[in-house]
């Protein structure tokens, strides 16, 4: 959530770009790999089909919400004092731009979410220019409150893994396991959740949970990702039903070493690609170099939330940017081995000048349950 005190800096950035106004749009969906600028800017998660914050050059901010009934929820939780419900978003948004005397160039965030009609209605009123960098730059400088939320979300991820380990048992369906994890994390304070799971003797990848029942000997892999106030934290873990065979322990040890080596490369100013190269070097030296790249592997990590490193884009050997202080980054040497199938292993960390700050207390290791 953006500190309202940062609004002055938003206005300064608008002046430098010669923007007549700023529009932050959301169609009400959130995704783990895409930052929600509206959520960050307003402090509230949009759930309706159309929501937009509009800021004029003189600092007037208005939140336009459809459906109208959702305006009460947003008004109770946002710093923006002028919250307006509407059932005619397509007509009222251009009218709001006119009311605020916004003509010329309009900075827009979330334009990729706009439908053709909304985009057309806005572009007829003003010339659209992408402006996500304004909020990205602000979010790069975390407040104490933002850092507290990030660390609290890490604790929620710990709660999620405990539920994962406790409930991963013979007979439970994958979607039932997901329900147990989600219930635990929402009870702990998560306001959004993203989970991938897979189970079997030889997994190909993680996917949305199915109705498959867990069986003895299963390798259960999961990405457990709670969110709070727009900040996602992810744990990648593997749980075996029954004691793992020696080959599974051996291959998982490779991932643990890859993760350990990647952590030595995480600090502000270091190229993000070093994280990936460290993992691939360890896994490649173990004889699995060809499995470190597509079609077997896509990414060795990525960022989370506004102000992080390329959320939605991969961190791989060719990532051309450097890590920055207070970025939230997942490092995951999740890996397919022909002997064992796909295994999950990964940590979300906060980048600091001295190295990575772990955001969860759950030990990174291969877990197993008695059957």
Write down the residue that tokens 């877990």 correspond to. Answer: 367
Q: How far is CA 181 from the centre of its chain?
A: 18
> What pTM value is reported for the model?
0.89
pLDDT of residue 3: 66
Token duo for residue 237: 């873990």
Q: Cα 295–113–44 angle (5° rounding)?
A: 105
Q: Which has the minimum average pLDDT: 264-273, 292-301, 302-311, 338-347?
A: 302-311
For 99-116, b where at least 16 C-beta lie within 10 A, e where not — what string?
A: ebebeebbbbbbbebbee
1 falls in which pLDDT band (50, 70, 90)? Answer: low
Average pLDDT over residues 41-55: 91
- Residue partners of 294: CB distance under 8 A and separation at least 6: none
pLDDT of residue 135: 86
> Distance between CA 333 and CA 342 in Å, rounded?
11
Token duo for residue 145: 């409150």
Is 80 exceeded by the pLDDT of residue 315?
A: yes
Q: What percent of the chain has pLDDT over 90?
A: 77
pLDDT of residue 311: 58
74 falls in which pLDDT band (50, 70, 90)? Answer: very high
Average pLDDT over residues 58-70: 94
pLDDT of residue 310: 62
pLDDT of residue 2: 66
Nearest alpha carbon to residue 210 among 160, 181, 173 = 173
312 falls in which pLDDT band (50, 70, 90)? Answer: low
> Distance between CA 15 and CA 4 in Å, rounded?
18
Average pLDDT over residues 49-77: 94
313 falls in which pLDDT band (50, 70, 90)? Answer: low
Token duo for residue 264: 């030595």
Average pLDDT over residues 297-310: 83
pLDDT of residue 136: 86
Q: Which has the minimum average pLDDT: 140-149, 233-242, 276-285?
A: 140-149
Q: At what angle do helices 89-99 and 116-125 cross, to 10 degrees?
A: 20
Nearest alpha carbon to residue 75 among 61, 89, 88 = 61
Q: Which has the minimum average pLDDT: 43-47, 223-227, 280-284?
A: 43-47
3-state per-residue secondary structure call for the chain:
CCCHHHHHHHHHHHHHHCCCEEEEEECCCCECCECCHHHHHHCCCCCCCEEEEEEECCCCEEEEEECHHHHHHHHHHCCCCEEEECCCHHHHHHHHHHHCCCCCEEEEECHHHCCHHHHHHHHHHCEEEECHHHHHHHHCCCCHHHHHHHHHHHHHHHHHHHHHHHHCCCCCEHHHHHHHHHHHHHHCCCCEEEEEEEEECCCCCCECCCCCECCCCCEEEEEEEEEECCEECCEEEEEEECCCCHHHHHHHHHHHHHHHHHHCCCCCCCECHHHHHHHHHHHHHHHHHHHHCCCCCCCCEEECCCCCCCCCCCCCCCCCCECCCCCEEEECCCEEECCCEEECCEEEEEECCCCEEECCCCCCCCEEECC
Is 90 exceeded by the pLDDT of residue 254?
A: yes
pLDDT of residue 140: 82
Q: Is the peptide bond before 51 cis (omega within 30 degrees of 0)?
A: no
Q: What value does the mean pLDDT of the chain take?
A: 93
Is 90 exceeded by the pLDDT of residue 279?
A: yes
Q: Cα 11–15–19 angle (5° rounding)?
A: 95
25 falls in which pLDDT band (50, 70, 90)? Answer: very high
Is 80 exceeded by the pLDDT of residue 156?
A: yes
309 falls in which pLDDT band (50, 70, 90)? Answer: confident
Walk me through the domains of the chain, giving residue ranges and CATH numbers. 4-139 (3.40.350.10), 144-369 (3.90.230.10)
């Amino acid at each position: 959530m953006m500190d309202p005190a940062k609004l002055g800096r938003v206005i300064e950035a608008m002046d430098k770009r010669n923007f007549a106004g700023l529009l932050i749009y959301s169609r009400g969906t959130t995704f783990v790999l895409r930052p929600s600028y509206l959520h960050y800017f307003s402090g509230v998660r949009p759930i309706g089909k159309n929501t937009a914050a509009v800021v004029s050059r003189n600092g007037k901010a208005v939140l336009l919400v459809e459906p109208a009934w959702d305006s009460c929820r947003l008004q109770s939780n946002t710093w923006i004092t002028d919250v307006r419900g509407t059932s005619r978003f397509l007509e009222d948004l251009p009218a709001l731009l006119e009311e605020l005397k916004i003509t010329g160039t309009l900075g827009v965030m979330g334009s990729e979410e706009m439908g053709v009609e909304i985009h057309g209605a806005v572009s007829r009123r003003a010339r659209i220019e992408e402006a996500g960098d304004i909020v990205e730059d602000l979010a790069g400088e975390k407040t104490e409150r933002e850092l507290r939320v990030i660390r609290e979300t890490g604790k929620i991820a710990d709660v999620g893994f405990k539920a994962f380990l406790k409930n991963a048992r013979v007979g439970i369906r994958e979607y039932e396991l997901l329900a147990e994890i989600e219930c635990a994390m929402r009870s702990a304070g998560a306001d959004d959740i993203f989970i991938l799971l897979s189970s079997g003797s030889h997994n190909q990848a993680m996917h949305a949970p199915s109705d498959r029942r867990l069986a003895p000997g299963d390798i259960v892999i999961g990405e457990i990702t709670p969110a709070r106030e727009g900040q996602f934290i992810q744990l990648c873990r593997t749980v075996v039903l029954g004691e793992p065979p020696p080959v599974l322990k051996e291959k998982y040890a490779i991932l643990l070493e890859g993760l350990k080596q990647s952590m030595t490369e995480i600090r502000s100013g270091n190229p993000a690609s070093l994280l990936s190269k460290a993992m691939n070097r360890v896994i490649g030296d173990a004889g699995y170099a060809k499995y470190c790249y597509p079609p077997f592997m896509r990414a060795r990590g990525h960022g989370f939330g506004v102000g992080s490193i390329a959320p939605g884009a991969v961190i791989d050997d060719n990532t051309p940017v450097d890590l920055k202080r207070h970025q939230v980054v997942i490092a995951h040497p999740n890996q397919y081995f022909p002997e064992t199938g796909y295994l999950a292993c990964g940590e979300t960390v906060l980048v600091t000048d001295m190295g990575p700050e772990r955001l969860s207390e759950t030990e990174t290791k291969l877990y197993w349950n008695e059957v």
